[in-house]
Every structure is written in structure tokens, then in C-alpha cells.
Chains A and B, each alone.
Chain A
Amino acid sequence: MSATETKNPVIWQPKIIAFVCNWCTYAGADLAGTSRLKYDANIRVLRLPCTGRIDPLFILKAFERGADGVLVSGCHPGDCHYNTGNYHARRRWIVFKPLLEFMGVDSRRVQFSWVSAAEGAKWADLVNNVVKNVRELGPFKGYQQMLEEVSKMGKV
């Protein structure tokens, strides 16, 4: 996210990073595509083997690289390709989201969901929803100010 983008609200577009699992949500997003469903293009999808592979560090890193919102999605409980990955992930997010909120990140900037390979329409809705929420919130000024300070120090 460049500084110029955030300074001009007219051209500002939210940047959402989506961490999705290979087996369900990625396939669901694929289905949305092959079904010719139209949804907001503000999302960058990163495919991982499983939601259990998604470290809280990924989310922090996404914000550090200028994301305005983060979406994490994988197989529904009980459907994990590796049987239990999403259960472990669920516990992690149940405590990580309140931590981010406690530290001042608006809860609408971090969205968790389950989207199966058959739920192309749900994926499209979900993305539209997240983009809408983040658009209302505007750029993640708090984090971006920190990043500007850092770049003034000559270190990113």
C-alpha cells in the first residue's frame, strides 16, 4: 500500500488479504470464478494447505505490508482435509481476535469464516461483505502511520 493511495480518498481502495485453505475455500473461490460470479476485486488470495497452517504472524505481517483488512477462511468444522487442522485454527482465532481488538484493531478488519468447495456464492458474498465493512472503516490509518514513521527511520 503506497502512501499516496491513502492520502487521496477518491482513489483509495481497500486492500484485503485472504488466507484460505487449499481444499475448501480456495476451491470455493474457484467455483465462484467458474460460475462467473462477480465480486469485489479488492481481495488478494493466498492459498495455504490448511487453516491450521495460518500463523497469527501472517495476519500481523499482512497489516505490516499495508493491508486494510484480513480474511481467513477454510473448511467447515468436521470437513478438514487433515481431520483436525481447522479445529486447532479455530481455538487460535478465538483468542487471537480478542487480542487484536484489545490492542485497538477494529474487529471488522479481521474476518474469519468457513467456506466449502461448494459455496462459491457464499465466498462471493463474504468478500463483498468484508470489502464493504473495510471500505466503511477506511484505510487502516493507525498501522499505516506506524509504517510511515518506520520508513522515515530508513528501515522497513
Chain B
Amino acid sequence: MPEVVEELRALARDLLAKGTVKTVIGYKAERLANRVSPLIITSPDRAGELVWNKYCLNNLAVYLTRGEVMRRGPAAVVVKGCDARAVCGLLQEGQIARQNVVIIGMVCEGVGEPLLEMCKSCDVHVPRLADYIIPKEAQKPAEAAKTPAEADAEVARLEALTPEERWKFWREKLERCIKCYACRQACPLCYCKRCVVEKNQPQWISTSAHAAGNFAWNAIRAMHLAGRCGACGACERACPQGIPLMLLNKKMAKEVALHFNYRAGYDPAATPALRTFDARGDNDELFR
């Protein structure tokens, strides 16, 4: 077993045995070597089931807002750098208390086989927010934040098209949406107990999987994640229809960085961009 896994297991065992945390949220191996699944343990005896490898795709921060996990008491969560950005967002938004979460940050050279596209432009190989970094000897984050919005080529390509072409692009992509809400379920920041799509007095967004409802749903989800999305890509991976949801999130991140000089999930003490304003500094060009 690789040393890093031993280190992770030893830490989890220790945290549970000492009672620092009541649960540890991590990954466990599956029968297929290239699959892992989330594992939530409450006893130090089971720490040996935890694994860490390049197939650990899930963003486990999603469990930090689940009552069935958190009501047991403080939880430790195994995170990659991008997942830590989501934990940071949850702390900023007051969804979890700092003393109720122990962040086990894994040094991550990118996940997926082949390597995920988003990992190639990653600037959080060492999580910026963590109580423990594994392996221990890893240096604290030295990487400078890269260009906002991950300087995405596909976003730039779409921006260069005409409105009609973009409309056509999204019509084709969103046509496939079946309104399963897997994107929402996989997203650690989509934690509303009652999502706007489930509100029906009035019915803001049609729940049927038709063109108009799909447009409204995906537009409003992107808007609700503006300045909050930590770019972990969980929504896109969860989408059974292969809709490039991260394009919308990246576009929003780009606008937020451009106008408000803010990047989500880097500073737990910062106020999220869309929860504040700058009376003099905000761009007024749009409002003629």
C-alpha cells in the first residue's frame, strides 16, 4: 500500500480514536481497480478501508451539508485542492462551522484516467485550505493563482461566435438535459434545502425536460453559482447526458474575476462577490 494511503489511514484512525471527529468522509476501493466510491466511517477500526488514488474524482465536500452526516458531530473530510475550494465556500457562507470540520487535504497531481482536462490548468495541487496536508512533507501552497476562469479556450471560442451560433450551440447541448438534477446533487454548493426549481407557487422553472425549461434551469443554476463555484467539475461529471456545464461556470468565474477581482474558494475570510458590492468601484457602463 502506498505510503500516502498509510498516512491517510493513520490520521483517520487517530482522529476517530481521539474523538476529535465523529465521522471521516473519504474514498473506498471498489471491485474494479479504476473505481472508488465515497465512504463514511464512524469507527477507527474501519480506517483501513480508506484509499487514495487518481480515481478519487468525487467532491466529498457535498456531504458536509448533509444532516445525516453532520448531526453525529464534527467530521473530517478528505479533499483535493479543488474540493477544498468548495469547503472554503461553505465556510464563507456559514453552512458549516469551522470547528465542526477537519480538512484532510491530499496533494493531488490531477485525477482521472486519462487525466481530466481541468487538472491540466489546476493551481491548487496542494489544497490552500486544510488542517492536515498529506503527504506531510509537501510544501504549503506555493503556486500563484493562474489566469482567472482558467483561461478556457472553449469559453473564448464560444464568445467569438455570433449570438445565433451560440444559441444553436446551447440549444443542441441543453436539448439533451433530462432534468435529473444530478448536477445539483453532486454540487457541494447547491445545498438549498428547497431548490428554486422545486418551488411551484409560482412555478418559476418548468420541471419538464423541454427546451424552455432546460434553458431556464441551466441559466439559473449558472447564475446561482456565479462567484461561488470552485470549479471542481462534479456537475459535469455527474451529468449523464454529457452537457458541458462547466463552460457556463467558467464563463461566470471569468466575469466575476474580471469585474470584481474575486475568485471563489481561495479565502475563507472573504465575502462572496455577489453578496457584497462596491458603490464606487463597480462598473456602471452597462447602465446607460
Contacts and interface: CB of A to CB of B under 8 A. Distances in A.
Contacts of A112: 286-287
Interface in B210-255: 210-213, 215-216, 219-220, 222-223, 226-227, 248, 251-252, 255
Nearest to B215: A146
A90 B284 contact: yes
Contact of B284 (A77, A84, A92, A147): A77
B57 interface: no
Interface stretch (B27-35, B86-94, B164-172, B178-186): B164-172
Given A56-B223, A102-B248, A153-B208, A78 B279 contact: yes
Contacts of B260: 91
Contacts of A95: 223, 226-227, 252, 255-256, 259, 274
A21 B92 CA distance: 31
Question: What secondary structure prevails in chain B residues at the interface with A?
Answer: helix
A93 interface: yes
Interface in B252-277: 252, 255-256, 259-260, 273-274, 276-277
A87 B226 CA distance: 17
Contacts of A101: 163, 166
B212 A147 contact: yes
Nearest to A73: B287
A103 interface: yes
Question: What secondary structure prevails in chain A residues at the interface with B?
Answer: helix
A90 B213 CA distance: 26
Contact of B277 (A90, A146, A150): A90
Contacts, number: 124
Contacts of B222: 99
A100 B163 CA distance: 10
A95 B283 CA distance: 11
A87 B252 CA distance: 19
Contacts of A78: 279
B159 interface: yes
Interface in A75-107: 77-78, 84, 87-88, 90-107
Contacts of B164: 104, 142
A26 to B, nearest CB: 17
A149 B274 contact: no
Contact of B287 (A56, A64, A100, A113): A113
Nearest to B213: A150
B219 A142 contact: no
Nearest to A97: B286
Interface in A110-150: 112-114, 142-143, 146-147, 149-150
A104 B169 contact: yes
Interface string B93-115: 00000000000000000000000
Interface of B: 155, 158-159, 163-171, 196, 204-206, 208, 210-213, 215-216, 219-220, 222-223, 226-227, 248, 251-252, 255-256, 259-260, 273-274, 276-279, 282-284, 286-288
12 contacts: A56-B219, A57-B204, A64-B216, A94-B259, A94-B282, A95-B226, A95-B252, A97-B286, A104-B169, A143-B215, A150-B213, A155-B210
